[in-house]
Structure 1
Amino acid sequence: MLTHIVFWKLKDHAEGADKATNLARAKALLESCAELVPGTHRFEVATAQPGHECTYDLVLYSQFEDAQALAAYQNHPDHVAIKPFIGAIRLERQCMDYTYPAP
């Protein structure tokens, strides 16, 4: 099982909208990718909770059967299509992929 986690910190204003609007749109776009490819076991998209000190605004926590399933997700046309918008609204991005337990 391969875990793929991505965090985004968003700009206060981008693409003609404020952070809250872009955050909601980005979350919906990511959620639309949840069932794009076979081998996806878990796909959670969440936003930072109001009132909590957080360093990032949006997170994707996902698990895939293997590296091939993750690659299929990353290269799927529907996923590729949302990258320009998310790239335009993000200030920072962090990503980590890992297997557990390690092989």
Structure 2
Amino acid sequence: MIKHIVMWKLKDYAEGNDKQFNANEIKIRLESLKDKISEIGKIEVGINNNPANSYDVVLYSEFESYEDLDIYQKHPSHMEVAAFVGTVKDDRTCVDYEA
């Protein structure tokens, strides 16, 4: 099993919205991918409630293989969400590992 974890620090204001609105929008859009991309085994998106930390949104997802992860990452629905996230983020970090 492959675990794919991504965290984003968001801009205070982007795409005409504040950080909280954009965090919620990322959550909605990413979680909707479960119904569109069959390779996703599990997906959770959390919005940080701890103001002392620098990252605002975290994605936790699971895939059966690196091939499934690759299909997910190249899927048009994921690419659409990624394009939006790219316009509202300041920073991104990612970890993929086998469990």
Q: Percent identity?
A: 41
Larger Rg: 1
Show CA shifts across 1:35-58 (max 9, x none). Answer: 333342221111002x55222100
Unaligned runs of 5+ in 2: none
Alignment-derived partner of residue 13 in structure 1: 13
One-letter identity of the residue aligned with 1:3: K
Structure 1 CA distance, aligned partners of 2:36 and 2:68? 10
Show CA shifts across 1:22-81 (max 9, x none). Answer: 1111111111112333342221111002x5522210000011000111111111111111
TM-score (ref. length: structure 1): 0.88
CA contact (8 A) 2:39 2:72 kept: no
Alignment-derived partner of residue 65 in structure 1: 64
> Runs in 1 of length 4+ with deviation above 4 angstroms?
none
Unaligned runs of 5+ in 1: none
Aligned-residue Cα RMSD (Å) equals 1.3
Aligned residues: 99
TM-score (ref. length: structure 2): 0.91
